[in-house]
Structure 1
């Protein structure tokens, strides 16, 4: 019997996480099936995913009415429902988390702080602590955006032993700053005599959004042959930073205490351009000690016609050349990253507000408008 294609990816050292959650996938047993049969090894969520889950289903109506009657604010209602779902998913993934050979490497479920806090360091720290305590599962990761304000929050959270999924990364410079925050957080923890061997983190590098923004510029400037390649080239360079950083003497001191590297996670990996193969951003970046989080549609596509092969370190010279070439036509990747970060915050803020509005509507219909 042919090995499942997603499980073949794991043979190359990469973990596939599912970028989706709702109650149906948990209670129906589908998530358990995806883990056992398709090799899914983690789950990520974001405000847009929860907005779709709650707004398109009656599964949450009873909770909304009950929690509203108890006097909780609209945002509190949301987070109580989200925490409940995340807890359940953590339990489903616990066997993966507890595998003897890779304890702490996989089996995580991510829950994001409010996107309204993306530029507020102290509020982000406070909510990360609250969500960590409310979920109260070793295999939860709290998602904090890798904004300028998020860096200090990430360092503080790591120093307090909170698992962190750093989201919304688009530039190599910001990625390096995130790695520094992770290592500094662990060092602070070690200095206090606290254990560092059970703290985990991933750095989520977003891909397809980069190409969506850059490709039209390339077309206009005679570099259309590089369409769909800039994000992949950037990811390959990020992996080289990862390898370099986690082989330094500074890191080795933490590794001796049991610390594990902050893995790179490839996000936004569904192809947005119909001209590209729908598994493009999965196939191009398969390599050791990395994660790729993909929506159900992309997972199904890869199971059907994906090609699993070690690809992350192929043609590194070509990746470097691509990033140099785009500079000649005025593509400033730092400016691209800043624009995408701002747009990314909006892309999460808008559905989150829509979600809160939908909960408000439900509260009114149930006669509990607080």
Structure 2
């Protein structure tokens, strides 16, 4: 049996961590959905930078906007929104068939707003209105400023993909922001208070944690390549705890949806690790794994589908304890990763705008 179909039968969805205009236009994205390979798409500034800077796919659309005098950022948002709209339309049938469980396409707010609550809320609402598709998810980073923005955006009835989560403590705050947003929506005046169609995922980053921890460990340490998976397993335990609690139970009476844990950054960075490591070891119900093209093909070819996410929790706790005993701070590592992630996306966005500006000047 196709390992992806097995994985799907266990309650996990594969989303594609990639978007390019040619995939939308040549029918490949539709074919991937039809084959059952993917059930959603995520994007970020790095993905759009790669798509626009390394191809001429966007020139036909970009040149008229440049000649009309639009600035680089305006051009980017128009290009991105068109891609996201088209991808949402391709996923519409799956979205409807799954009753809103899958078929989502994610678009991130400007990474320049990572530490601005008000700006994030404003842009999330603007993008939601401009894309105008029910299967859109707005990506908001899980920074301290992002948490209240997540709450307010959920309360406004907008689907949210919470990104850049590294620590379990921050993940608990994200779950609280989601539930608070749903509660606010139920109580809000001048709206129906419906939360039935509000969906969210919480993107917990995986491989980057091993990358930063492994550098601090001896070459022969048995903890190498173990901490990211252990951290994710304990995050899923926290998800199960929260969703089985009284507070979420009350929300479920109002037809609340799970905020599914989403495993992000699941390509292996260390070539000595199996290339499907961060899929094989994180399979479980009510979850999403978002994978880049090479990782998707690797899993289709030789991945192993088995429910692993709840396996050996004692070992996960022990790995985290052993790390602390070795004098390595998991809290510090996850904060460093959040800071680095925010900067990396901002840098990618800057590079993307510079590329568009160059093409804009050439076209004009």
TM-score tier, shorter chain, comes to over 0.9
Match of 1:156 among 131, 152, 156: 152
Query: Which structure 2 segments of 5+ residues have no match?
Result: none
Do residues 309 (structure 1) and 306 (structure 2) align?
A: yes
Aligned counterpart, 2:7:
9
Match of 2:52 among 48, 51, 54: 54
Q: Distance in 1 between matches of 2:156 and 2:312?
A: 40
Q: Distance in 1 between matches of 2:177 and 2:71?
A: 33
Aligned counterpart, 1:76:
74
RMSD (Å), alpha carbons:
1.0
Aligned counterpart, 2:323:
326
Deviations 1:25-67 (A, max 9, x none): 1111111111111431000000000001001111111222212
Q: Between Structure 1 and Structure 2, how many residues are aligned?
A: 361
Do residues 109 (structure 1) and 105 (structure 2) align?
A: yes
Aligned counterpart, 1:190:
186
Q: Distance in 1 between matches of 2:283 and 2:53?
A: 34
Following superposition, the deviation at residue 114 of structure 1 comes to 0.7
Aligned counterpart, 1:205:
204
Following superposition, the deviation at residue 68 of structure 1 comes to 2.4
Q: Distance in 2 between matches of 1:310 and 1:92?
A: 30
Deviations 1:265-309 (A, max 9, x none): 000000000010000000000000000000011000011111111
Residues 47 and 112 in structure 1, CA contact (< 8 A), matched pair in contact too? yes
Q: Distance in 2 between matches of 1:32 and 1:231?
A: 33
TM-score (norm 2): 0.97
Aligned counterpart, 1:268:
265
Query: Which structure 1 segments of 5+ residues have no match?
Result: none
Q: Distance in 2 between matches of 1:80 and 1:190?
A: 33
Aligned counterpart, 1:43:
41
Q: Distance in 2 between matches of 1:7 and 1:271?
A: 22
Q: Distance in 1 between matches of 2:158 and 2:291?
A: 24
TM-score (norm 1): 0.96
Aligned counterpart, 2:355:
358
Do residues 243 (structure 1) and 240 (structure 2) align?
A: yes
Deviations 1:187-244 (A, max 9, x none): 0000124100000000000000000000121216x6x111111000000000011011
Structure 1 ranges of 4+ moved more than 6 A: none
Aligned counterpart, 2:124:
128
Following superposition, the deviation at residue 72 of structure 1 comes to 2.5
The aligned runs of 1:24-39 (5 Å cut-off) are 24-39=22-37
